[in-house]
């Protein structure tokens, strides 16, 4: 099946979700599974931690989240991949928070999905990055979108430009701005 056929099938299934529910999800998921695993690999690698979630676990967590929603407001495959990326990021944030909560004495939570463990310092660094990104979103939503798509989702400059309907030169310029703002925010939080 070629790329445009897959995109068309995904869009068609997204339109069927409201009527068919789980059946449409079960048809949709295999069509995007490998791409979701690629996004998960990038998400996990970008967090710079010894995460116990592997990419398959992360993709399955997203799938379970989607099944629990009453509706998935999504227009096309690009939009779906962006929603998946956001969901994966939020799962990793929640996971890091649970790890830190367990370290601080809320030991009732046992988070274990694999043999490896998320290091507490790395969880703290990840949450600092997440908070810096939230501040960036408050300053400039497009800068945040570029970070989300390029850094967390691993899209190329061209793909980011296509997704946001802007030029590649704008993506490059805003990417530099976003990195500078994140660097300043992270440095300010570490020196505070």
Give the pLDDT confidence score for residue 170 in this predicted structure.
95
Segment 155-162 shows an average pLDDT of 86
Domain boundaries, the chain: 1-118, 119-192
Give the pLDDT confidence score for residue 107 in this predicted structure.
47
Give the pLDDT confidence score for residue 190 in this predicted structure.
64
Best CATH choice for the domain 1-118 from the list 3.40.190, 1.10.3470, 1.10.10, 1.10.1740: 1.10.1740
State the number of CA atoms in the 13 A half-sphere of 36 facing the CB: 23
168 pLDDT band, cuts 50/70/90, is very high
Candidates 170, 133, 173; CA nearest to 153 is 133
At 50-93, the pLDDT tens digits run: 556 788 888 888 888 887 776 777 777 888 888 888 888 888 88
Give the pLDDT confidence score for residue 141 in this predicted structure.
92
pTM for this prediction: 0.62
At 83-138, the pLDDT tens digits run: 888 888 888 888 877 777 766 555 444 444 433 344 556 667 777 888 888 899 99
Give the pLDDT confidence score for residue 175 in this predicted structure.
93
Backbone φ/ψ region at 21: left (φ over 0), alpha (ψ -120 to 50), beta: left
Q: Which fold has domain 119-192?
A: Arc Repressor Mutant, subunit A (1.10.10)
Angle, alpha carbons 176-182-185 (nearest 5°): 140
Distance CA(138)–CA(28), nearest Å, equals: 33
């Amino acid at each position: 099946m070629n790329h445009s056929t897959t995109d068309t099938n995904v869009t068609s299934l997204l339109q069927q979700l409201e009527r068919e529910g789980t059946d449409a999800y079960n048809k949709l998921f295999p069509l995007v599974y490998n791409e979701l695993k690629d996004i998960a690999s990038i998400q996990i690698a970008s967090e710079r931690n010894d995460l116990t979630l592997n990419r398959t676990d992360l993709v399955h967590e997203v799938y379970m989240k989607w099944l629990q929603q009453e509706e998935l407001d999504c227009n096309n495959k690009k939009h779906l991949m962006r929603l998946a990326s956001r969901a994966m990021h939020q799962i990793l944030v929640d996971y890091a928070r649970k790890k830190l909560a367990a370290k601080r004495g809320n030991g009732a939570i046992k988070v274990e999905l694999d043999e490896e463990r998320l290091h507490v310092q790395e969880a703290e660094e990840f949450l600092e990055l997440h908070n810096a990104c939230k501040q960036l979103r408050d300053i400039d939503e497009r800068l945040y979108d570029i970070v989300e798509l390029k850094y967390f989702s691993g899209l190329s400059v061209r793909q980011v430009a296509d997704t946001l309907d802007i030029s590649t030169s704008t993506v490059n310029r805003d990417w530099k701005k976003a990195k500078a703002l994140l660097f300043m925010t992270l440095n300010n939080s570490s020196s505070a």
